[in-house]
Structure 1
Amino acid sequence: MLTSMITRRQLCRAGLVVIIFLIVLLLSWKGSSETKPQSRPYDPDLFAKVDGSIFEGFDNETGTSDGSTIVPNHVHFLFFDKTYIPYVHAVCVLAAFKNQQPEKIIFHTNVIEFTGTHWIKIRDTLGSVLEIRNITLPNEIFGQKFSKNFHLWHASDVTRIRILMEHGGIFVDNDSYIVRSLDPFRKYEMAIGITDGNKTGTQVLIANKDARFLKLWLELYRDYKPDDWYYNAGEKPVEEVLRYRPELVHAVKTLFGVHTLSDRLYIWDRWETWKKYYSIHLIIRHRNYMDTIWNNYRWPDLDETNICDYPKPFGVMAREIYSDFCRKMN
């Protein structure tokens, strides 16, 4: 009897999670489908902008002929507006430092000075590897104002393209966790993840500064759709560039972890497969409601103390990187 009750409860929780996901997907589809234009046919004028590139004819299936790297081992993060660095973001920075072993980790920010214990942990751990570069949050692209609702996100999408066009390297979202070295992808002009919705995953980008796709990606913002959450960043590049010229990038279908893995991170009791990925987008904003529905309790924002008892797979991942308090308790 007790077993059947538990099973029914678990099924109810599973059903609620599915319903929430369907509602979110429906709302996002409805919002985008009302304004989304049809993708344009092959545009020779667009692709002419990269004619004569130093990468013309480059093979992004095999990379450099001798396996040499052409992307600098520099990891870029964006920190706009907020001085306090949350625990999960600190975990991702420290994972990049430990598992990628970059020559530089660069914070691009409009913040004057960071604060909090996690910032101190990052500063003291990274030492001379850490570099801070001042940057302004843009308000427009090609004379078009960014959306009021999505300003920070759309401005960040454009900024990461510009950073890579200027410096090259590895761009990592603040909630993307590097599991193991991305060096195998530094032999390509550009490597990018593809989401489970067949969109470009902006969370981990590896590129030479002269990568052809970067220039075309930015050009697509001349037709900017301010009310569409992911069209210019994720959908348009696939529909209007990679659909016709897939050879411009090395596409990574699974192992960049830019598809939806939140159930494995925050619902499953065990998930050892995470170790096989190169990186994983944590989608940290989804954790709270998933914990609430599935686990009969709501965890507060994760930090260096409560992570010691967090029982889901992300807890294992975080403790491998940043668990000073847990070690002291033991």
Structure 2
Amino acid sequence: MDDDVVVLKSLDSLRNNEMVLGEENYDALANSIIMASPNSWFLKKWFTYYKDFNDTKWSESSCFVPWSLWHLFPSTINVVKERMLRPNWEEIKFLYHELWDWRDNYTVHLYSRFMVNVDGTPERSLQELSVLNTTYGEIARYVLWKDPKIRDITEWMV
């Protein structure tokens, strides 16, 4: 799991699958969270394609290859649509500028490497997060206080 993926709901219901990936968009799966049994056929097959890995075109091996394998061998993988990787990197504005209904998501990928470009800052203070009216703000409050509602924390901020 990438270090900027937030788990919002238990993944236990997915653990009985040999391989689980999230669909990033109509033509790609994502490797930001990989759930696989130790002997997953799909994972072993996918790994063989990394012999030709090109870091400047990382998405070919990391997103498009598993998508192609899924379509060739659909019974070897459980692909979670909508609930793992939405909003996706093409929808990043919904994380940092708008509100996205994430309540049914298992996970959300924050794409933190893009945060400074999209949000104008590399980080947010606790005070900012407590009132930030965006998806990112809601998720931060949910993680911090188990409740996404905007709150006034000025009383206990020193």
Which TM-score band (shorter chain)?
A: 0.7 to 0.9
For 1:60-71, list aligned pairs within 5 A: none
Greater relative contact order structure (CA < 8 Å, 6+ sep) = 2
Map of 2:148 onto structure 1: none
TM-score by length of 2: 0.80
In the comparison of the two structures, how many residue pairs are matched? 148
Which segments of 5 or more consecutive residues in structure 2 lack a partner in the other structure?
146-152
SS of the residue corresponding to residue 204 of structure 1 reads strand
SS of the residue corresponding to residue 44 of structure 2 reads helix
State the distance in 1 between where 2:74 and 2:144 align: 38
State the distance in 1 between where 2:20 and 2:80 align: 7
State the distance in 2 between where 1:203 and 1:227 align: 17
CA shift, 1:236, in A, is 2.1
**CA-to-aligned-CA distance 1:210-267 (integer Å, 9 cap, x gap):** 111111111112233343131111112323x223112110111211125334222111
**CA-to-aligned-CA distance 1:30-71 (integer Å, 9 cap, x gap):** xxxxxxxxxxxxxxxxxxxxxxxxxxxxxxxxxxxxxxxxxx
Map of 2:11 onto structure 1: 182
Map of 1:150 onto structure 2: none
State the distance in 2 between where 1:319 and 1:220 align: 40
Are the counterparts in 2 of residues 191 and 207 from structure 1 also a CA contact under 8 Å?
Answer: yes
Q: Does 1:225 align with 2:54?
A: yes
Map of 1:314 onto structure 2: 136
SS of the residue corresponding to residue 6 of structure 2 reads strand
Percent identical residues: 24
Residue 198 (structure 1) aligned to one of 19, 24, 27:
27
TM-score by length of 1: 0.41
Which segments of 5 or more consecutive residues in structure 1 lack a partner in the other structure?
1-171, 292-297
Map of 1:234 onto structure 2: 63
Map of 1:249 onto structure 2: 77
Residue 264 (structure 1) aligned to one of 91, 94, 106:
94
For 1:1-330, list aligned pairs within 5 A: 172-239=1-68, 241-257=69-85, 259-260=88-89, 261-268=91-98, 270-271=99-100, 273-291=101-119, 298-299=120-121, 301-322=123-144, 326=153, 328-329=156-157
* Closer, same or farther: CA 253–197 of 1 in aligned 2, 3 Å: same
State the distance in 1 between where 2:47 and 2:55 align: 15
CA shift, 1:305, in A, is 4.3
Moved over 6 A (4+): none
State the distance in 2 between where 1:200 and 1:308 align: 33
Are the counterparts in 2 of residues 220 and 237 from structure 1 also a CA contact under 8 Å?
Answer: no
State the distance in 1 between where 2:64 and 2:3 align: 21
Say which one has the larger Rg.
1
* Closer, same or farther: CA 218–300 of 1 in aligned 2, 3 Å: closer
